[in-house]
């Protein structure tokens, strides 16, 4: 039973659904009259992105990027590698980057600078989760579903060693499952 690997459930499927609908509504209102390019950061953002875009009722286009992660450890090297680049050009576009979680802020900071250098008209960020207590780079998501404590979380796209991404809720992984190195 996967759920028994969780210490606690932070947000249930229903709580996430309600909040994602609200955030989708806010994004639709903020971008009314625009035609933004929504960029999902793989792999973690795939669950949030697929829920979020179904609550955005203005025209959008969707593309994906994949960045290197630092595996099971959460220690950031500060370096971000692009594993899969965009298919669509960003020049002149309003861009909305969709992330699973903003932790140290390293990934987001790198992506925002990259997209602006490539000529995006604007770059904003929607994150399912925000862990502000871990921030190294001073950056914050423009839209966020939930602020979360400094715990190692899994579910709703978040993984430990590529597992648990498909859990419909988000929760704290039991320390004995990942060795407590957070």
Please pick, from the candidates 11, 56, 107, 171, the single residue that binds ligand IMP as defined by CB under 6 A: 107
Q: Is 146 in the site for ligand IMP (CB under 6 A)?
A: no
> How many C-beta atoms surround the C-beta of residue 37 within 10 A?
22
Q: Is 155 in the site for ligand IMP (CB under 6 A)?
A: no
Select which of 51, 94, 100, 103 is catalytic.
Answer: 103
Q: Is 158 in the site for ligand IMP (CB under 6 A)?
A: yes
How far apart CA 51 and CA 48 sit, in angstroms, is: 5
- Closer residue to ligand IMP in complex, CB, 53/72: 72
Q: Is 126 in the site for ligand IMP (CB under 6 A)?
A: no
- Asked if omega into 43 is within 30° of 0 (cis), the reply is yes
Q: Where are the beta strands (DSSP E) in 71-121?
A: 82-84, 94-102
How far apart CA 135 and CA 153 sit, in angstroms, is: 16
- Closer residue to Mg ion in complex, CB, 69/104: 69
Say whether 2 sits in a helix, a strand or coil.
helix
Whether 112 contacts 96, CB under 8 Å: no
How far apart CA 128 and CA 10 sit, in angstroms, is: 13
Whether 28 contacts 57, CB under 8 Å: yes
Between strands 37-42 and 82-84, the pairing is: unpaired
Q: Is 5 a catalytic residue?
A: no
Q: Is 44 in the site for Mg ion (CB under 5 A)?
A: yes
Q: Which does 48 bind (CB under 5 to 8 A by kind): Mg ion, ligand IMP, none?
A: none
Shortest Å, Cβ 28 to Mg ion: 25
Stretch that binds Mg ion, among 31-39, 48-56, 66-74, 144-152 (CB under 5 A): 66-74
Q: Which residues bind Mg ion (CB under 5 A)?
A: 44, 69
**Which residues are part of the catalytic machinery?**
103
Interacting residues with ligand IMP (CB under 6 A) = 44, 69, 74, 76, 99-108, 152-154, 158-159
């Amino acid at each position: 039973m996967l759920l028994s690997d969780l210490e606690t459930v932070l947000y249930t499927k229903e709580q996430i659904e309600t909040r994602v609908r609200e955030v989708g509504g806010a994004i639709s209102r903020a971008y009314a009259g625009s035609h933004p390019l929504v960029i999902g950061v793989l792999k973690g953002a795939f669950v949030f992105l697929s829920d979020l875009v179904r609550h955005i009722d203005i025209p959008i286009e969707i593309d994906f990027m994949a960045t290197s992660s630092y595996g099971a450890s959460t220690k950031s090297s500060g370096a971000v590698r692009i594993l899969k680049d965009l298919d669509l050009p960003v020049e002149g576009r309003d861009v909305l980057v969709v992330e699973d979680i903003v932790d140290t802020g390293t990934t987001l900071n790198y992506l925002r600078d990259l997209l602006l250098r490539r000529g995006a008209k604007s770059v904003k960020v929607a994150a399912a989760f925000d862990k502000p207590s871990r921030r190294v780079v001073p950056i914050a998501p423009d839209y966020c579903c939930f602020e979360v404590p400094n715990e190692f979380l899994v579910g709703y796209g978040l993984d430990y060693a590529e597992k648990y991404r498909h859990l419909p809720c988000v929760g704290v992984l039991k320390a004995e499952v990942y060795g407590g190195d957070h």
